[in-house]
Structure 1
Amino acid sequence: MGNPNILMTRIDNRLVHGQVGVTWTNTLGANLLLVANDSAAQDPVQQNLMDMVVADGVQTRYFTLQKTIDIIAKAASHQKIFIVCKTPQDVLTLVKGGVPIKFVNVGNMHFSEGKKQIHKTVSVDDSDIAAFNELIALGIPCEVRRVPDESGEMIGDLLKRS
């Protein structure tokens, strides 16, 4: 098995926008932005919109979760990979599929019916909480931090308080 150089994995329900495509990518020094999302992988229009907000010199890939699991080990060592997913459930799917994710950055999880807000930009329901708890149990820190220069807060602490 290859050992892909995954710099960070982010959960963001908007997937790629300016904060992700430029700010985080530059801060991390990533040169490959991998969007692991089943619907985006099939949607060229969405891909084009996201490509527009990605820093120059950064490649983008739009893979289904399964394709990500299948080929991540083939990544070249010079590829500095920043993975973006939409939900903690999707991240958990990748982890269970063998993607060596060591750290999860939580950006935006918008409020919707049946979710409770645990942070300015993060709302969760029971399924989200279960997925985060499983990631944490697997030893993968999950930290809410919208932008790099903000101090982060651990999801586990936020869940305990809510």
Structure 2
Amino acid sequence: MSAPNILLTRIDNRLIHGQVGVTWVNHLGANLIVVANDKVSTDEVQQNLMDMVLPDVIQSRYFSLQKTIDVIHKASPRQKIFLVVIDVHDALALKEGGVPIDLLNIGNMHYEEGKKQISSTVSLDEKDIAAFKRLGELGVKLDLRRVPSEKGQNILDLF
């Protein structure tokens, strides 16, 4: 069985919004967005809102983390997948569950109490940092970048 054609996995606490729907999809040449998120996988209102920002030619799937792990290897090679998760812990769960994530783009991780801002769009706490370090150990390339035109940074260099 061939590996699924995952072009990029992105962490974005807003999941799909205008900028992601258009900029990243066009940049990557993706034709399928998979949102892996337990909550959104059962929330049709949220799914419909996200679908509204996507061009018609782009398909979308909203799966729980476990379902993503279970079905991603059944993807057709013609499916050029842009995988979107809400945070680093979900990305790590997918990677450890066998989803072949080689490149992880870190887009937005918003500020919350107890988190430290490391870039204009990313704030982390110790647990987040530990998860990124683990992903690094698992061989995932970690690219902090809001939009494709920006120069990416290895997030591990910012701790």
- Structure 1 stretches of 4+ with a deviation exceeding 4 A read none
**Whole-angstrom distance in 1 between the partners of 2:5 and 2:90:** 19
1:56 to partner: Cα distance? 2.4
Alignment-derived partner of residue 11 in structure 1: 11
**Whole-angstrom distance in 2 between the partners of 1:45 and 1:150:** 32
2:105 alignment partner, SS class: strand
Alignment of 1:53-132 (within 5 A): 53-132=53-132
Aligned length: 159
**Whole-angstrom distance in 2 between the partners of 1:56 and 1:23:** 15
TM-score by length of 1: 0.96
Structure 2 stretches lacking a partner, 5+ long: none
Letter in 2 for 1:39: K
C-alpha contact 1:7 1:82 (8 A) present in aligned 2: yes
TM-score by length of 2: 0.98
1:2 to partner: Cα distance? 3.5
Alignment-derived partner of residue 142 in structure 2: 142
Identical columns (%): 62
Structure 1 stretches lacking a partner, 5+ long: none
The C-alpha deviation readout for 1:73-126, integer Å capped at 9, x for no partner, is 000010000000001110000001100111000000000001000001000011
Letter in 2 for 1:91: A
Is 1:39 paired with 2:39? yes
C-alpha contact 1:8 1:103 (8 A) present in aligned 2: yes
